Amino acid sequence: MPVRLTLPLGLSLGLAGLALGGGLAWLPGIPPANAANPPVPAVAPATPPPTPGVTELPAAPGSGCPFARLGLSAPELSGGRLSDGLVRQWSRFQGWLLRHPGGWSEALLSGCYTIDMLLYMRSPKDFLGRRRAVMGPNFAALGRLIVGDYPEVARLIAEPQQRSTFLGRGRVMAERFPANFPLFLSDREVGGDGRHEALHAWLWQYVAQPAEARAGAARLQPLIAETVATLRETPGPLTKAAVAAPVRRLVVRFMVPVLFELEPSPAQVDALITLFHAESLTRNYIAAGMEPFALPSALLGDLNAEAARVRTWLGTSPLFAADSPAMAAAPAPREEMIDLMFSLLGVAAMGGTSNLLTNLLTLVPEDLAADLRDPAARLRVILEAARLDAPVNNVNVILPAARTFRVEGQALEFPAGTVVAASIGTASMDPTRFPAPQQFDPARPELAATALVFNSVGFDPAPKPEARRVCPGRTVALRLADDFLLAWRQVPRP
């Protein structure tokens, strides 16, 4: 179990670790990269000249985060002023700690996590991209092993997963999230108690499948048209920041009726957006439970009261009626199911879907040569946009047994219990699987067969409920994305 540290202690241990890291990096088993041990190539081969329908994309800029308001970001460090040698030594030090578990290793890794999070939250894509360029696709960071090698990521996604309280790149306080949160529950084959399987089956039958039928309702189309009209009037280039507000409102106004059969008021839409998107540690439900920056409960009274009001309102959904088939089959008491669905609405339905729609606006070229009246063509565009910037970026697992990974060209064994982040975003840019990965090319061969988005290996157009950990809400999110893309392309920009 990781040692929990206060922010000052975590920083102190992390800085001490940084001082020691240079020396430990040269211990046996972590030799420096040199001619005898060349690092894994980190830069894609030279790309061919542009072809019709293929567009080269610039790197996406970082976005704001809750921690920025506390002055905890460090753009001068994440922007490239740290030497490659220091980045390499810092990563090697964390790798050495991971391979030599113990009380002090756990404490130092917590300090490393704290320091890395200060840099990561400023610009996650830049943070990971810098380390991938220096270290190769697999490297230690954020107090865990980040794996971006496509075959390894596909393997980690497809096999039974041992899970713990890790959300995205962060480590969360378990007591501030539902005990039955599926993202935290292990599969039965690797130590789980069967709750994940029971909840997954319930979500498919009583939430996802009815929602799929409601997602095509004609009354939802004006919401999409209204959002498209607003976005078409946005001046200047469409950046993530510029499109965030209208996209988030659309997702809430679409998802709540589809999932819960409730019509949110403007105030309820605002409340949900604040709870799951606000750049504030005292107003954002997720950030308020993220270690090591989570504030004491005494400072979260307004947030907790707002979350309670939203939960009470969601509890009026027919889904939670005492005599409903869903509640009769629920694997947990009614109040726990309401709490669970509240969290899933914000983390998965709102967060992942908003990211997907944002990709369609910011990554798909306006002059793309594709007939988007064809549903199959639209699906390829959506999958390619998701490949370039994964809506859900990684899967956190705990190794149930020792496993070997290649780090800087070496085969290194990591023991059971090692926290591993399977990076969907990094693996989706693997040049050995996706030639010229920075190019937007919806005509890529086997794009659907190789897709890692939606927590699955390959895109099955008709996923089965029993499929391991495939996102139950995938079809609903895709329906909104498909309708949105079609509407967006049909309305010319002024």
228-268 pLDDT, tens per residue? 999 998 887 889 999 999 999 999 999 999 999 999 999 99
Instruction: Please tell me the predicted confidence (pLDDT) of residue 366.
Output: 84
Q: Over 80: is that where the pLDDT of 193 sits?
A: yes
CATH number, domain 190-392+453-490: 1.10.630
pLDDT band at residue 82, thresholds of 50, 70 and 90? low
Give the mean model confidence (pLDDT) for residues 432-440. 92
Give the mean model confidence (pLDDT) for residues 290-306. 92
Whole-prediction pTM = 0.83
Q: Over 60: is that where the pLDDT of 37 sits?
A: no
Instruction: Please tell me the predicted confidence (pLDDT) of residue 437.
Output: 93
Contact by Cβ (8 Å): 346, 449: no
Instruction: Please tell me the predicted confidence (pLDDT) of residue 493.
Output: 58
Give the mean model confidence (pLDDT) for residues 155-170. 91
pLDDT of 110-121, one tens digit each?
999 999 998 888
pLDDT band at residue 494, thresholds of 50, 70 and 90? low
Instruction: Please tell me the predicted confidence (pLDDT) of residue 303.
Output: 96
Mean pLDDT, the chain, as a whole number? 83
Q: Over 50: is that where the pLDDT of 174 sits?
A: yes
Q: Over 60: is that where the pLDDT of 192 sits?
A: yes
pLDDT band at residue 463, thresholds of 50, 70 and 90? confident
326 vs 474, residue with greater confidence:
326
Q: Over 70: is that where the pLDDT of 52 sits?
A: no
Q: Over 90: is that where the pLDDT of 68 sits?
A: no
Give the mean model confidence (pLDDT) for residues 290-303. 92
Give the mean model confidence (pLDDT) for residues 70-86. 49
pLDDT band at residue 8, thresholds of 50, 70 and 90? very low
Distance (Å, whole) CA 2 – CA 190: 19
Distance (Å, whole) CA 421 – CA 399: 10
Order across the sheet with 166-167: list the strands: 166-167, 170-172, 290-291
pLDDT band at residue 400, thresholds of 50, 70 and 90? very high
**Hey, where are the domains in the chain?**
1-42+68-177+393-427, 190-392+453-490
Q: Over 60: is that where the pLDDT of 374 sits?
A: yes
Find the helix or strand (DSSP H, E) in which 172 lies.
strand 170-172
Neighbour tally for 267: CB within 10 Å: 9
pLDDT band at residue 24, thresholds of 50, 70 and 90? very low
Neighbour tally for 77: CB within 10 Å: 16
* 63: exposed, middle or buried (Cβ count in 10 Å: 0-12, 13-18, 19+): middle
Contact by Cβ (8 Å): 436, 48: yes
- Report which of 483, 218, 214, 180 is spatially closest to residue 342, judged by C-alpha positions: 180
pLDDT of 210-225, one tens digit each?
999 999 888 999 999 9
Instruction: Please tell me the predicted confidence (pLDDT) of residue 379.
Output: 94
Q: Which residues pair with 79 in a beta bridge?
A: none
Distance (Å, whole) CA 217 – CA 187: 35
| % of the chain exceeding 90 in pLDDT | 64
Q: Over 80: is that where the pLDDT of 69 sits?
A: no
Instruction: Please tell me the predicted confidence (pLDDT) of residue 368.
Output: 84
Q: In three state form, how does the secondary structure of 2-66 look?
A: CCCCCHHHHHHHHHHHHHHHHHHCCCCCCCCCCCCCCCCCCCCCCCCCCCCCCEECCCCCCCCCH
Q: Which residues pair with 141 in a beta bridge?
A: 144
Give the mean model confidence (pLDDT) for residues 412-417. 97
